Structure 1
Amino acid sequence: MTNKNKAYERIPYLIFYQDKSPFKETYGGPMDFGALKSHLLRPAEPKTNNVIVFMHPVGGGEYLPMITTLAKAGYPVIYCQSRYPGNDTALIMEKVAIDLGNCIRHAKEKFGFEKVILAGWSGGGSLSMFYQSQAEKPTITHTPAGDVVDLTVQDLIPADGIMLLAAHISRSHTLTEWIDASILDEQNPNLRDPELDLYNPSNPNQAPYSEDFLTRYRAAQIARNRKITQWVKNKLAELKTGGRPNDEFAFVVHGTMADPRWLDPAIDANDRKPRWCYLGDPEVVNNGPVGLARFCTLRSWLSQWSYDDTNADGLKCAETITVPALVIGNSADDACTPSHTWRLFNAIGHQDKEIHEIKGATHYYFGQAEQLDEAINLCADWLKRKGLV
């Protein structure tokens, strides 16, 4: 029973799914079955029978300020975890799209919501674009590793609108822009090119960086991503040739937070704190335990981190979506910087789109009631004008 003294009621629930796989890739539970942990935030006095749906590839955002404040403002919200909560080691983006599809179908058929607005927060932005592009025009039948994950038979339900909130363009591009270009040997990460080592005080190339250095550094980052990708493909081929086509191989990627923009605030400039990123001191994060792609498997690398192979490139997916889109960037964001916000906006292949920036807002809005209210008001106004309330 809803407590009328509360702004909203939080209802945890499970979405059970069946998805056949030749091997177990999520921990626990019976083979071919799983459960998506979800939260419905139902306002005491809802303004609409439409629902805003959040999903991030690895979840963890059901208590974020944006999610709870939207519910307090009268908008039903669902935050649904993927099948990979808190662990992207074996994550397959094509399967996350299926999870999001299960969430949307459940929201309509079990809860009776009429329309669905996808809210892509941070890494959920490119996921939302990926899902919507495949829901509108499904084309993918296999993962980049060649495994059958057929989105054309999933009957994915398209959303009626998309909000991209502090979102980046894709996991693959983000990792590539953050990866340490100085590492020359994946098995010996201490072997480095000293002229590309951003954290080497003896490096003659120090911030503020020259255009020539940045060009060289960015090229080396892409080259490192491609080098890992080629090794992954060779390893997969070796397993298949050896008669073990379903085997996996786990590996570590060192040095994944060495983006020059964190040390040179003039690059992709905004109001963020210098020599800082959303996880803290980037030099510490570079080899910390929670870096992007730190722990990987072969298939997962190709699906979510490969610069050339991932299907979940938010920019490519944005070209084909047809629903109204709202893009909001935060001027002090230390994770998703302005170029990501604008590249997503510009990539959307129609004109029913708009973009806004919240001055002084950080990535999560923690302790920023004024900026959070501004973001909620922008969402509310857009939802009303687009007939989504």
Structure 2
Amino acid sequence: MGEVVREFVGLPSPLVGRAGAGGHPCQGVYHRPAGAPPRTAFIATHYNVDFSEHYLAEHLAARGYGFLGWNTSFRGNEAYFLLDHALAEIGAGVRWLREKAGAERVVLLGNSGGGSLMAAYQSQAVEPNVAPVAGMRPVPAIEDLPAGDLFVALAAHSGRPEVLTAWMDPSVTDETDVLSADPSLDPFNPENGPPYSAGFQARYRAAQRARNERITDRVLGRLDALKGTRARDALFNVHRTWADLRMIDPGIEPSDREPNRCYLGEPVKANYGVFGIGALCTLRSWLSMWSLRTSQCTAAPHLARITVPSLVVHATADEGVYDSDARAIHAALAASDKTLDFVRDTHYLPESRPEAADLIDAWVRAR
């Protein structure tokens, strides 16, 4: 592996100022090979996870590329996420690559949850469509975003509202009580499975969607009740979001994944723990990110506006992204030049990072 130079990048946001302690709202680390500036550079961003030292950054830099692991002001701050604000801050990173780092081609890397986020970025850049969430002003900075030249979806989820709903425990009967459960829908009730019957799976999936819709109804009602008061928003919790039946029952969408596993280990323990996607929300961040009815963080509509060459890479032992997700992303892309490829590994590719970097490198060089 050749010498890799790492450069910290801190940039202002079009929306918020520097923190009182001095930190820039938009921050990341630019990895590049020593010597002449690379002509092609990647940018990777997530809704919440810190991507500044992304696991592929050094591997792709060693193969001759720039790699900006980029964070918006929502890194570690998911509860307050607003899509249009995040897109404006991703735009700051893309502009830096073109105007300061000297990149002639920019590859948008949508990894994990960042798949739908980077799809939304390219979609907005080529055909503005993202609207502010209820009660918020439009963000002018998203009307002129620099588009990417290539798009890569790597171990990517199909969208924030879809993944949350697929993972939700629909047996919750009281959103304020972490222990409330309808036994007839409890995925950890041995009378229900595993294995889970086709009938139970259908009832379960319908109940998951119904739970998401009930939360949206409650959120809209609370926002309406706050009108004219001293408060404009409020926080709330969403309990038990590690209960996708596929995590528990390997017979549903068989793959190379380990049975009865999620990203936090055994699903029943994770499901009743305090760490989970969407665990803490504001009313407006729910509408922006998690609601099936109102969120614009669903990948499919954005993928339908992506016409640049696109690559989808699926990890066949992924504990939370499934073959059907990867194939749906590939099918939804509007690009005429699109490729679906596979690596045998778990979600974060601990064993196959050089292989994945080689695969992406070969695909980019061919274009």
Shorter-chain TM-score range: over 0.9
Shift of 1:150: 3.2
Matched, 1:91 2:81: yes
Which letter maps to 1:89?
A
Which letter maps to 1:261?
R
Task: Tell me the equivalent position of 1:296.
Answer: 281
Matched, 1:101 2:86: no
Task: Tell me the equivalent position of 2:349.
Answer: 365
CA distances 1:143-163 after superposition (whole Å, capped 9, x unpaired): 2x2412336753101100101
Task: Say if 2:84 and 2:131, in contact at 8 Å, map to a contact too.
Answer: no
Matched, 1:160 2:149: yes
Task: Tell me the equivalent position of 1:171.
Answer: 160
Inter-CA distance 375–151: structure 2 relative to 1 (3 Å threshold): farther
Shift of 1:342: 0.9
Task: Say if 1:140 and 1:150, in contact at 8 Å, map to a contact too.
Answer: no
Shift of 1:356: 0.3
Inter-CA distance 64–90: structure 2 relative to 1 (3 Å threshold): same
Task: Tell me the equivalent position of 2:61.
Answer: 71
Which letter maps to 2:151?
I
Task: Say if 1:141 and 1:152, in contact at 8 Å, map to a contact too.
Answer: no
SS at 1:89's partner residue? helix
SS at 1:164's partner residue? strand
* 1:251-262 alignment runs, 5 A limit: 251-262=236-247
Task: Tell me the equivalent position of 2:180.
Answer: 191
Task: Tell me the equivalent position of 2:220.
Answer: 233
Q: Distance in 2 between matches of 1:27 and 1:309?
A: 30
Q: Distance in 1 between matches of 2:38 and 2:142?
A: 31
Task: Say if 2:321 and 2:347, in contact at 8 Å, map to a contact too.
Answer: yes
Which letter maps to 1:175?
L
Inter-CA distance 47–14: structure 2 relative to 1 (3 Å threshold): closer
Task: Tell me the equivalent position of 1:209.
Answer: 196
- Larger mean Cα displacement after TM superposition, 86-95 or 121-130: 86-95
CA distances 1:187-220 after superposition (whole Å, capped 9, x unpaired): 223231101111234xx21011111110100000
Which letter maps to 2:136?
D
Task: Say if 1:133 and 1:321, in contact at 8 Å, map to a contact too.
Answer: yes
Q: Distance in 1 between matches of 2:241 and 2:222?
A: 22
Corresponding residue to 1:50 among 34, 40, 63 = 40
Task: Tell me the equivalent position of 2:123.
Answer: 133
Task: Tell me the equivalent position of 1:23.
Answer: none
Q: Distance in 1 between matches of 2:340 and 2:244?
A: 25
Task: State the Cα RMSD in Å.
Answer: 2.0
The alignment's TM-score, normalised by the length of structure 1, stands at 0.89
Identity %: 35
Matched, 1:12 2:8: yes
Matched, 1:327 2:309: no
Shift of 1:351: 2.2
Matched, 1:263 2:248: yes
Q: Distance in 1 between matches of 2:36 and 2:302?
A: 32
Which letter maps to 1:126?
S
Task: Say if 1:66 and 1:376, in contact at 8 Å, map to a contact too.
Answer: yes
Inter-CA distance 341–190: structure 2 relative to 1 (3 Å threshold): same
Q: Distance in 1 between matches of 2:136 and 2:174?
A: 29
SS at 1:17's partner residue? coil
Which letter maps to 1:208?
P
CA distances 1:9-35 after superposition (whole Å, capped 9, x unpaired): 111120112316xxxxx99449xx952
Which letter maps to 2:123?
S
Which letter maps to 1:69?
H
CA distances 1:225-276 after superposition (whole Å, capped 9, x unpaired): 0000110011111111x344x6221111111111100111121221111100
Task: Say if 1:41 and 1:71, in contact at 8 Å, map to a contact too.
Answer: yes
How many residues of Structure 1 are paired with residues of Structure 2 in the alignment?
366
Task: Say if 2:94 and 2:106, in contact at 8 Å, map to a contact too.
Answer: yes
Shift of 1:46: 6.3
Shift of 1:47: 8.6
SS at 1:18's partner residue? coil
Task: Tell me the equivalent position of 1:222.
Answer: 209
Matched, 1:385 2:366: yes
Matched, 1:347 2:332: yes
Q: Distance in 1 between matches of 2:51 and 2:364?
A: 22
SS at 1:65's partner residue? coil
